[in-house]
Structure 1
Amino acid sequence: MKNANIAINKITASLEIERKIVGVKFLFTKEEYEIADAKPAKAKLPYCVMVKLATRGTGLKATLELSGCGGGTRALGLEEPSLNFQSGCEYNNFGLYQDLAIAKNVVNNVTFCKHKIYGVMTKPLEEYKEAPDVVIIITNSYNAMRIIQGYTYKYGTQANFKLAGNQAVCSECTAYPFESNSINISMFCSGTRYLAGWSNEEIGIGLPYGKFIETADGVYLTVNGSEQNKNKERIKQKLKDKNLTDPGIFKDEAYFIKERK
């Protein structure tokens, strides 16, 4: 996909992103699943672990039977939430909420995909030949700031971020961006930090594929106004290495430097 490759080059030249950017594809039928270009998981895996593996270059696909976390299966649309979950009782046993009423409130505000799928595929975005549905970027807070700036450059303020520190990769980074057609940020949850082993500094961003393309362009076009001088020379060299045009990057033109002149 030419547009995806250009977008990946723009955002990775503009930022220091250590992990591969991940594409997520919903597979609605058995036929779609069988032809999806990824190996099936060999054992039950939580969805967030599949995403973690994709950030290191390993693409996988999984059905309900190969999924190892109920939070992920209900958020993605692999199965319906149980009555125990819908009542708030499951969350109330987590020790994260002071009473059943609060647990029920959190349950009511967790976003699930409003569809039924047969399977899901996760792999590096660069490996897709067709457009995925959601893009996930795992990075640090500085890069998250720049990605939000790139999104805002194209779309204006995202006023409806949703995060609760639970069901982070499956709901906050996947289901909510897909259902709302907007970007979302996640501080992760204790479950995914344990299961996938993310570093303490890492956080997640999810957004629809179409908006990733424009957001990457926004990150690229806001380098001059947002980056300190010490970063600009490195970025200019990376743009040159990737055969990308310099969008107009000049010393002392970041807005916070110009204001002090």
Structure 2
Amino acid sequence: MPYCVMVRNAMAGKSLKAAAKNFGCNGAARSLSVIEPDEMTTSGRFYESLGLYQDLPTSKNVQRNVIFCRHKAYGVMVKPLEEYDDEPHVVMVVTNPYNGMRIIQGYTYAFGFNTAYRMSGNQAICSECTSVPFERNDINVSLLCAGTRFKAKWRDDEMAIGFPFNQFLSIVRGVYATLDLTEPNEKKAEIEARFKEAGREPPPIQYNKNYYTGLNPK
């Protein structure tokens, strides 16, 4: 099974463990260091032969900057975040650009401006959203790739964000802290309704307040 399909299944509530023999995509297995990258890949010749890049120097540049996990892994475990007893290494969210914006706003509130997002439109779930945040210990954004959009059936309006678990609570707190200043009234009402549907008390929310309309709370 391709790693991105494992992630898709985990987001649907399923828990999976996979070793090298279970991977249906060698690109993901290499990114996660479940198998060793071969010279054909690291040299850029494989992807240049596919026609993904205009020439070999460009392909070599891309491969030189693609981040692989720098350890030998036996396998991976993916499952819904709430089902982990031990802390996971990486948290991944696939969502629409609006929610992606809010996650980045929460991150920026806590950690400041990120100048190092890395993306190429390829190896999205495995490298851009797993290996990159794991190896760099920082958030990364992906617009997904053609392979995962086909295999995992993501919608055209979806994107992905991966970040180390050690940033999770700070990002959540940042999203809460910026709620009043960034969300319009209709979004605030939706947030309150979702909290109530989940049987949880919503955080204090101020209506008629955000930074882009100049409105003040009543």
Compute the TM-score of the two structures, normalised by the length of structure 2.
Answer: 0.94
**What amino acid is the match of 1:246?**
P
Q: Per the alignment, in what secondary structure is the counterpart of residue 204 of structure 1?
A: strand
Query: Which protein has greater RCO, CA pairs closer than 8 Å, 6+ apart?
Result: 1
What secondary structure is seen at the aligned counterpart in 2 of 1:256? coil
Describe the shift of the 1:193–1:151 C-alpha distance in structure 2 as closer, same or farther (beyond 3 A).
same
Does 2:57 align with 1:69?
A: no
Where does residue 243 of structure 1 map in the other structure?
A: 200
Contact persistence 1:187–1:204 (CA under 8 A): yes
CA deviation map 1:63-118 (0-9, x unaligned): 01111111111111112110100111111022221000000100000000111111
The one of 62, 72, 90 aligned to 1:116: 72
Contact 1:78–1:119 (Cα < 8 Å) also in 2: yes
Q: Given that residues 3 and 126 in structure 2 are in contact (C-alpha distance below 8 angstroms), is that contact kept between their aligned partners in structure 1?
A: yes
State the alpha-carbon separation in 1 of the partners of residues 174 and 201 from structure 2: 14
Cα distance in 1, alignment partners of residues 189 and 23 from structure 2: 45
Equivalent position of 2:118 in the other structure: 162
Q: How many residues are aligned here?
A: 215
Match of 2:130 among 169, 174, 183: 174
Query: Does structure 1 residue 49 correspond to structure 2 residue 2?
Result: no
2:156 aligns with 200
User: What does residue 211 of structure 2 align with?
Assistant: 255
- SS of residue paired to 1:197: coil
TM-score normalised by length of structure 1: 0.79
For structure 1, which segment, 147-156 or 215-224, has the greater mean C-alpha deviation from structure 2 after superposition?
215-224
| 1-structure distance, mates of 2:119, 2:194 | 33
Calculate the aligned-residue CA RMSD, in Å.
Answer: 1.5
1:4 aligned residue: none
Residue 234 of structure 1 is matched in structure 2 by 190
Distance 1:182 1:104 in 2: 25
Question: Offset of 1:144 from its aligned partner?
Answer: 0.3
Measured in 1, the distance between the counterparts of 2:51 and 2:17 equals: 32
Q: Residues 163 and 185 of structure 1 are in contact (CA less than 8 Å); yes or no, is this contact kept in structure 2?
A: yes
Shift of residue 259 of structure 1? 7.3
Q: Which of 109, 115, 120 does residue 153 from structure 1 map onto? A: 109
Q: Does the 8 A contact of 1:138 with 1:204 survive in 2? A: yes
- Counterpart secondary structure, 2:172: helix
Match of 2:174 among 218, 223, 234: 218
**How far 1:242 moved relative to its partner?**
4.2
Structure 1 unpaired stretches of 5+: 1-44
1:205-230 C-alpha deviation (Å, 9 max, x unpaired): 00001101211121122110100111
Q: Give the residue type in structure 2 aligned to 1:161.
A: Y
Are the counterparts in 1 of residues 209 and 215 from structure 2 also a CA contact under 8 Å? no
SS at 1:51 equivalent? helix
Residue type at the aligned position of 2:51: G
Output one character per residue of 1:184-238: Cα deviation in whole Å (capped at 9) or x when no partner. Answer: 1101111111111111111110000110121112112211010011111222333
